[in-house]
Structure 1
């Protein structure tokens, strides 16, 4: 932090506490200027911009069995703020490995007096490892999802009777899905859901749907449908633009990539602000199935404006990959990555190369502001039996390193995870790894890649036991968990590292994504520079508005030179 500006922030802090002076921003923290007339926030990458680097480790990660039976194949996966996961597949894929409670079976549409007593969704307690079946009434196969500002799971679209469905799962102990089978304006199968700055969602596309709609966090709302010819323009004979990549940018526009083209869109008006250059290499969306993420946004008082946001896109398939795979020709997946400054007019893609080519991978933002690329295959595309050669080595991507030096290969997995696998960051920093079913039913033998129900945890390098002496511990009872835009909040930590200085400490806020088909929807990581760190107390300013951090629940981590604490749930509104 620049010395003069840092002194100003500290002076303001000592004159006012958070009760007497709730925000350094005018207008009650809704965004704006600090008293000297300069904007508060800026965006860039990395956790340590000072002289010290992150603590070094030669640890390449470790795999551990978590549970031998997930009950249901984890096609869709979401972590909830009550430390429970929900995952589900399709009601149309036949028997799973868990049944619904006796007397609570699902009526089968179009088949009078017939019921389905198999579970197709479960809730998983990460502490007790207890699995509880949840009953769907509509088919959520290849649907979209995300957390509402209240922390509820909002599931949109799916197949057949579920294609127009809106579903909500709340956080109570015995909550059940609430569903409105006709809640959406159009069918949404293989569509993308992205949270906007006010907590509403935009849902893009779906099979043969060249439009989008704005959706509220409820079962019923006024339908708002907007045509978007761009989606039709990017459709190959085998589509390659399903589950398009969408990211809310800090100016309120949305970056949208479909196939190999991308635009900046004003979601409320439907206006295309500009089109970006074509991303070379092939198709990036389903069934080509690359992966993508909005890289971490860094906010601090030392850099005046939030103007920059970068998008990373890696892997995918050739344009005719599906056609070739159906003939038994499994084409090599894309090995390159593109990174672009999405907020800058005239920006070009910066191309990089992964050590391993990849399709169907998950891309996760980690608590230390690095990126994990995990799961997938080297040949073929998404679809039943349409890929070969699983990629077992995760990749660590370090955004702040120089081009050509950003990838590190990590410890190899034992279990192949391909089509319909999913992953998520857990509160303790481990990665839950689940699913993989390349078959049209639950098949456990006599196929090349059996349906996979085993759960694993992957420990990234920052969980090296040798780094534990540098690991902060959040004292939750003495920390603020309810945040208000632009206002001061405090986090109390215990840290045995006596050499830790103010510039060593950063705080990250991770929005847990909804992961399906290699794409983590609503994923976001905000890196916050503290105003002050002293005697175990970290003083910070919350993000200024929902364009930087949409309202809702985040996992907050305190990071000491790349070593994160266990996460604490916070809610910002």
Structure 2
């Protein structure tokens, strides 16, 4: 199928006039190095760095290392935080509260972050701030966790996995924290009595087991990937249900960091859970080559196996972002080295889009390049308007603005995907969508497709969870196609009955964004809480 073609549910191409390949534009500055990000409201992004001498200053004159970024004004508000958020993890509770946990301690004016826990209750008026290490014992961290992964479970609890006991370049047995725990702690369990649970997999995956990737599955189990290994795991029973084949080609977890994503779920495919893993590095060597291969595995198969293919360019430390149309954008990263200060080289400026529906061998298309190197500590995330927020990159152990190959980067880029620059009008959601919805709930949605003169309407509803982004790890990111039925047509205005996901195994609870697409062109997304 030609690049730029639109497809219908029956797979038939619908060519449109020549389609550009997207564009990058610098729109603002972050004030702090963007090492971690999370979209906490439709217009506000939390940007989190480690404690270092950033240009953004607190009223005291001390350098800030957390800001709230206004996506409308492209301005930031500095935030006070006492614990060091360096290499922490994050996740969202069902009510929209964001949790940031773990971190490190460094020679900077800050408290240790290894066992810290921070809560963020979103607001739109600039009044919200961090709540750190709450007094409630249900929120007590039980051990040091540097490079920790956090995932929202179908229960709404947070699954906290792995990490190391100290700051380091690569994990080893003496520093490994091969355990998992749940937050908040189970009701009735005293903080002093709560112990994290050992997981042998996190030993087997050494030394490249930091920031493991975790996804919930339709049967209530979870999928875990680290290094080249992956398992299906039952949390309630603390039991490995299945060990999956190792992905060929080399390690793909920190510091040989690849890009990982759960492909969008489709009811027409019985919500098959397919994992895509792209890139990584051959070895922990300065000039080691990044991996060019990608592996895709269908967990619905009775005997899941990795299907391998090649990207146009090798890539290490890339970000895999699920776009509004369900395609995957791979961007950022470099072609040699490994993750860590001053260890990455040869930046990759050209993003590629991966089409999960295309046949093997024709899934990748290169888009327009950026001119900003985005390597270690870079981030990217889909915004409600369908553009992609891109920021970060600091190859240096401290803020360095000159006399280094890759200075600390504060510029924010907005990437406009091709689906926003076609000759098709952008659809609009006209009806008021409930701010809170439940599983399997059916809602009435009125949309305006604007124009029927070029193509008959081909409408799709997509529900996405943004998650928490750091170190090429998009914790809890996922998207699902919703079942919808057309019920009324009045000119260009069409009413649909749209069913929310049938259960929390498919889409764990919390904040989500719903897009409507007409012939592949997305509307502005609507924010809702799914519980």
TM-score (norm 1): 0.83
Structure 1's 47 and 544: CA in aligned 2 closer, same or farther, altered over 3 A? farther
After superposition, the Cα gap between the structure-2 partners of 1:271 and 1:534, relative to the gap in structure 1 and judged at 3 Å, is same
Q: Which residue of 1 aligns with 2:263?
A: 295
Corresponding residue of 2:277? 313
What's 1:427 paired with?
A: 384
SS in 2 for 1:478: coil
Give the conservation status (yes or no) of the 8 Å contact 1:47–1:527. Answer: no
Q: CA 1:71–1:203 in 2, change beyond 3 Å: closer, same or farther?
A: same
Q: Partner of 2:363 in structure 1?
A: 406
Change (3 A) 1:439 1:217: farther
With a CA cutoff of 8 Å and minimum separation of 6, indicate the structure with the bigger relative contact order: 1
Q: State whether residues 502 and 533 of structure 1, in contact with CA within 8 Å, keep that contact through their aligned partners in structure 2.
A: no
Gaps of 5+ in 2: 1-5, 106-111, 165-175
Residue number in structure 1 paired with 2:440 = 486
CA drift at 1:501: 8.9
Corresponding residue to 2:419 among 445, 449, 462: 462
CA distance in 1, matches of 2:378, 2:147: 15
> Please, which of 548, 561, 567 is the counterpart of residue 506 of structure 2?
548
- Name the residue aligned to 1:79: 39
Distance 1:232 1:440 in 2: 28
1:268 pairs with 2:236: yes
The answer to whether the 8 Å contact 1:289/1:518 transfers is yes
Alpha-carbon offset, residue 48 of structure 1: 3.0
| Compared CA separation, residues 151 and 170, structure 1 to 2 (3 A) | same
Please state how far the C-alpha of 1:81 moved relative to its aligned partner: 2.2
Give the Cα separation in 2 of the matches to 1:139 and 1:363. 26
Give per-residue Cα distances to partners, 1:60-114, cap 9 Å, x unaligned: 00111111x31000000111124200011112xx310111124xx7xxxxxxxxx
Matches within 5 A, 1:363-378: 363-378=320-335
1:58 aligned to which of 19, 22, 27: 19
1:465, distance to aligned residue in structure 2 (A): 4.5
Please state how far the C-alpha of 1:191 moved relative to its aligned partner: 1.1
**Matching residue of 1:177:** 130
| Residues in 1 aligned to 2:399 and 2:15: alpha-carbon distance in whole angstroms | 44
Hey, what's the Cα distance between the residues in 2 that align with 1:463 and 1:431? 11
Deviations 1:193-217 (A, max 9, x none): 1110011111111021111111129
The 8 Å contact of residues 215 and 224 in structure 1, kept in 2 or not, is answered as no
Measured after TM superposition, the shift of residue 460 of structure 1 is 1.0
The Cα of 1:175 is off from its aligned counterpart by: 1.3
In 1, Cα distance between equivalents of 2:514 and 2:394: 33
Does residue 134 (structure 1) correspond to residue 79 (structure 2)? The answer is yes
Q: Distance in 1 between matches of 2:293 and 2:487?
A: 40
| 8 Å contact from structure 1 (residues 73, 452) kept in 2 | yes
In 2, Cα distance between the equivalents of 1:387 and 1:364? Answer: 21
Secondary structure class of the residue paired with 2:419 = helix
8 A contact 2:30–2:411 mirrored in 1: yes
Q: Deviations over 1:307-332 (max 9, x none)?
A: x21000000012xx22x22xxxx111
8 Å CA contact retained: 1:510, 1:523 = yes
How many residues align structurally? 495
User: More helix by proportion, 1 or 2?
Assistant: 1
Task: Give distance in 2, aligned partners of 1:388 and 1:361.
Answer: 13
* Residue 109 of structure 2 corresponds to residue 155 of structure 1: no
Using the TM superposition, give the Cα deviation of residue 482 of structure 1 relative to its aligned residue in structure 2, in angstroms: 2.4
Is 1:518 the counterpart of 2:472 in the alignment? yes
Which consecutive unaligned segments of at least 5 residues does structure 1 have?
Answer: 1-45, 106-116
Change (3 A) 1:370 1:221: farther
1:122 aligns with 2:67: yes
How far the C-alpha of 1:50 sits from its partner, in A, is 2.2
Determine which of 233, 258, 276 is the counterpart of 2:204.
233
Q: Do the aligned partners of residues 488 and 224 (structure 1) sit closer, same or farther apart at CA in structure 2, a change above 3 Å counting?
A: farther
1:534 Cα deviation after fit: 2.8
Distance change in 2, residues 1:434/1:392 (3 Å): same
Partner of 2:146: 189
Matched, 1:99 2:99: no
| SS of aligned partner of 1:462 | helix
Shift of 1:541: 1.1
Contact 1:54–1:562, Cα closer than 8 Å, also in 2: no
Task: Return closer, same or farther for 1:221/1:554 CA change in 2, 3 Å cut-off.
Answer: farther
Counterpart of 2:337 in structure 1 is: 380
Structure 1 residue 358 corresponds to structure 2 residue 315: yes
Partner SS, residue 554 of structure 1: strand
TM-score, length-scaled by structure 2? 0.89
Within 5 Å, which residues of 2 pair with 1:7-26?
none
Q: Sort the Cα spacing of 1:96 and 1:343 in 2 relative to 1 into closer, same or farther, 3 A.
A: same
Q: For residues 407-452 of structure 1, what are the alpha-carbon distances to aligned partners after superposition, in whole Å with 9 as ceiling and x for unaligned?
A: 0000011111000010111111111110000000000000000000
